[in-house]
Amino acid sequence: MIRQAKGKTPRRPPPKKPSNNQKDPVGVYCRVRPLGADDEECCIEVISNTTIQLHAPDGLKANRNGEFKETQYSFKKVFGIKTSQRELFEDVAKPLVEDLIHCKNGLLFTYGVTGSGKTYTMTGSPGQGGLLPRSLDMIFNSIGPYQAKRYVFKPDDKNGMEVQNQVDALLDRQKRDSQTTVPKTPTTRRIDPEFADMISPEEACKADGVDEDSSYSVFVSYIEIYNNYIYDLLEETPFDPIKPKPPQSKILREDQNHNMYVAGCTEVEVKSTEEAFEVFWRGQKKRRIANTQLNRESSRSHSVFIVKLAQAPLDADGDNVLQDKNQVNVSQLCLVDLAGSERTSRTRAEGSRLREAGNINQSLMTLRTCIEVLRENQMCGTNKMVPYRDSKVTHLFKNYFDGEGKVRMVVCVNPKADDYEETLLVMRFAEMTQEVEVARPVDRPICGFAAGRRQRNQAFKEELTRRLEERGGPVDGEFPTVLNQLLQSFPPLPPCEISGPNDDVTLPRLIEALEKRHKIRQMMIEEYNKTANMLKSVLQEQDSNILSKENFIQEQRGKLGEKDKMIQNQKNEIDRLEKKSKMLEYKIDILQKTTNIYEEDKRSLQQELESREQRLQRELSEKRRMESRMQGMVTDAKLKWEKECERRVNAKQLEMQNKLWVKDEKLKQLKAIVTEGKTENRQPQRPSREKDKVPPKRSASPSPVPTGPPVRPLHRRSHSAGGERWVDHKPTSNVDLDTVLQPNIPNAIKVNAPNEKALSKCDKYVLTHQEVASDGEIQTKLIKGEVFKTRGGGQSVQFTDIETLKQENPVAASSRKRRSSEADPDAEPMEGDWTDVETRCSVAVEMRAGSNLGPGYQHHGYPKRRKP
Ligand code: ADP
Ligand code: MG
């Protein structure tokens, strides 16, 4: 419900077109009546509470090539044969009545072939009230205490409703009372045996959420559509027994809300279920009479019972209906008992009746077409014109389908096999109908007065009565004390007995007293009115106060609701965040653990790295050390080898020089021999020692020219056989070689350094010289020479011979032997083994020539400071 919070904005007429786009399908229910006789063939089976199954009867099957036909139809609900009227009402009609009370329109119709139970379902029978009486009963049970006084609402002639002022309503009521003889309010349900006990009191139904601050009034109309004519069944026509007037048909009109209505149709205001029943039965009676008089068949007419509910808000005092036509709301519930849906052929009608039947079926055909077109338009989005106007029934309910409302249909079926073909058509139509959708009615706004006005008003009245009673208490069992007090406050009446015809005093005195009383009364009335007005204004003020407070409360409630929502949202958010935080904590935990693992890994890797670095450092320093050592060794070896090379080069050079010299000398000797006579005394000259003091440069290439002939010794010691004496020179640096063969010279003077004394006594000299050979082995050389006396009286040694003794490591020797074929220039002859004669000779010559063999090879036994 949309509540208008403030102000007395006039209620607008409901929208012409539905303002919402919510739609509901037409609710189609199926009711299966019991078979009329047990031995009847049945063609229907209820297989669930939404589905029924039709079997083709045996005779029919034979006609159709023996084909066995079974068809199923589903509906919103299927009611079996045991369904009570009440159950059906609860499911089908109750929601419609609730809607009616809440200002929404409804349409309920029964459909089916004749005898299928349409009338039973809609009207029912005594003790078995149908949907109609139950609906009426529920309406009055719900709005009973809130009904407006009769004639307060008055239908206008345009399907609308007016609110009469109280005086006019009162006058109308008085007029009605004087005219009719019916009791104002029936006190018993048993008015007419025909509709007595339709509903047992314990089955009474009541709608919820009835607005207590509104006033209600129910109006009923009852029409019959026969042969596409509309008849008002409640119209009061003066009875003419001589020439009964045929009923006048009515026409349809559209009101400002696009609702169709029967123009000039009687609308009877009813105040109770019983009264409504009575009106209904009146209409029924009229219908029956007309059918009999005009030879009509009731099953071919559609009967429409319209319940209109007018409601208007109470005024601010909660006292009377608000005098505002715009605030009146009218809703209606149409209860339709359609004509039998059978085809013409089955009615066995003749003549004029056949025409009627055709028309009846024509209107049902139109209904069918309308539903089909509606369905197509809705399902395919087409906009085909729906032929409502083709028949009165469809035209009347046009706005239920085009506008808004709730539409329900009860499809009645008789399971007997005779009806099979008709029932089949009914089922197809019914199934199709539930595919049509109708706009859902919207809630109507209600007026802006404070809620609960009626109750407050009632409570106020009760309180007033209570207080009045409290003040007085009954006097003479009749008047309350207040009234007595009021009477006592008037001046007492003078004696009013007239003493005689000439009594001129009593009457004027009485008149005077009465006039006085009248004045007092007038004053009191004025006083009363003043007070009443004051009280009213105070009350109104308070009412508006309360209203504003209520509004305020409402506002606060709204705010509270919002806050609640906010809190809820925040709670949800907190929950979400908490969950997230837990998740994150968990993740952090995992990450922490992972970090720890990685850190440990890192630490161990670092340790390993460090140890490896240390090792590397160590290895590096080791390498460096090795390198320097190798460097040292290399330089050592290089130096050694350089020296060795130099020495060898020098030796070679010397050797070559000596050879050259020897050849030169030989040549000279040969020359001397040739020229002996002339130069007999001449001796080859040897360059003097003195001249050789400065050794030639080692690196210098051997000089091609000999330096001069060796000095021929001037004195030669006599050589007795075996009588040679040796100076055996062994330098102290020599190593004792522990060899087997040691040079052993008998009768020799052993010296560590040569001296003149030793040399003067001997004529032979030998030097034992040790040196490291090229193969790393120590070789001993015995350098021999002859001692000569020099002219200056000194001693000179002329080397004549070099004997080489070599100690050999057998391993090295064998390896050397293996490569003996190689022409090794360094290969020395075996120990004590002379090379060829020439070499030996040349060496001797060389030594004689006093070559530069190095310091170890030249020994000059000259006396000190003696110069040639
Ligand atoms: P329709 O109005 O469809 O022609 P009626 O309502 O007049 O049919 O029903 C025909 C007969 O069947 C009536 O005597 C009625 O009492 C009876 N009947 C219909 N439906 C039921 C039912 N559900 N239970 C018991 N009797 C039923
Ligand atoms: Mg009927």
Q: pLDDT tens digits for 388-424?
A: 999 999 999 999 998 888 999 999 999 998 888 889 9
pLDDT of residue 809: 62
Cβ of residue 114 lying under 6 Å from some atom of ligand 1: yes
800-826 per-residue burial string, b: 16 or more CB within 10 A, e: under 16 = bbbbbbbbbeeeeeeebeeeeeeeeee
How sure is the predictor about 811, in pLDDT bands with cuts at 50, 70 and 90? low
Cβ of residue 83 lying under 6 Å from some atom of ligand 1: no
> Can you tell me the distance from the alpha carbon of 396 to that of 334, in angstroms, rounded to the nearest whole number?
10
Residue at token pair 């105070």 = 538
- Closest ligand 1 atom number to CA of residue 81: 23
Q: What angle do CA 724, 729, 733 make, to 5 degrees?
A: 165
pLDDT of residue 850: 43
Q: Which residue has the higher pLDDT, 703 or 63?
A: 63
Q: Which residue has the higher pLDDT, 394 or 844?
A: 394
Structure tokens given for 300: 């071919």
Over residues 77-105, the mean pLDDT reads 94
Give a three-class secondary structure readout of 672-716.
HHHCCCCCCCCCCCCCCCHHHCCCCCCCCCCCCCCCCCCCCCCEC
pLDDT of residue 94: 95
> Can you tell me the distance from the alpha carbon of 834 to that of 805, in angstroms, rounded to the nearest whole number?
10
Over residues 86-92, the mean pLDDT reads 95
Q: Which residue has the higher pLDDT, 342 or 471?
A: 342
Over residues 370-382, the mean pLDDT reads 92
Q: What are phi and psi of 665, to 5 degrees?
A: -65, -45
Structure tokens given for 808: 């050999």
> Can you tell me the distance from the alpha carbon of 665 to that of 797, in angstroms, rounded to the nearest whole number?
20
* Contact between residue 734 and residue 743 where contact means Cβ atoms under 8 Å apart: no
How sure is the predictor about 616, in pLDDT bands with cuts at 50, 70 and 90? very high
- Closest ligand 1 atom number to CA of residue 32: 23
Task: Name residue 25's beta-bridge partners.
Answer: 437
pLDDT of residue 860: 45
Take atom 17 of ligand 1 and give the residue whose Cα is closest: 117
Cβ of residue 130 lying under 6 Å from some atom of ligand 1: no
pLDDT of residue 185: 47
Take atom 22 of ligand 1 and give the residue whose Cα is closest: 33
Q: What angle do CA 251, 256, 257 make, to 5 degrees?
A: 100
What does each C-alpha distance from 669 to 19, 375, 666, 679 come to in angstroms?
A: 161, 161, 5, 11
Of the bound ligands, which one is closest to the alpha carbon of residue 303?
A: 2
Over residues 789-813, the mean pLDDT reads 72
Q: pLDDT tens digits for 519-553?
A: 888 888 888 899 899 889 889 999 999 999 999 99
Q: Is 787 helix (H, G, I), strand (E, B) or coil?
A: strand
Cβ of residue 271 lying under 6 Å from some atom of ligand 1: no
Take atom 19 of ligand 1 and give the residue whose Cα is closest: 117
pLDDT of residue 373: 94
Residue at token pair 């009013």 = 496
**Would you say residue 440 has pLDDT above 70?**
yes
Lowest average pLDDT, out of 94-98, 292-296, 636-640, 744-748, goes to: 744-748
What 8-state DSSP symbol labels residue 516? H
Of the bound ligands, which one is closest to the alpha carbon of residue 419?
A: 1
Q: pLDDT tens digits for 481-524?
A: 555 666 666 667 777 777 777 878 888 888 888 888 888 888 88
- Tell me the pLDDT of the chain averaged across its residues: 79
Cβ of residue 302 lying under 6 Å from some atom of ligand 1: no
- Closest ligand 1 atom number to CA of residue 114: 4
pLDDT of residue 452: 79
Q: What angle do CA 525, 531, 533 make, to 5 degrees?
A: 100
Kindly tell me the sign of the dihedral angle through the C-alpha atoms of 490, 495, 497, 498. negative
> Can you tell me the distance from the alpha carbon of 330 to that of 154, in angstroms, rounded to the nearest whole number?
11
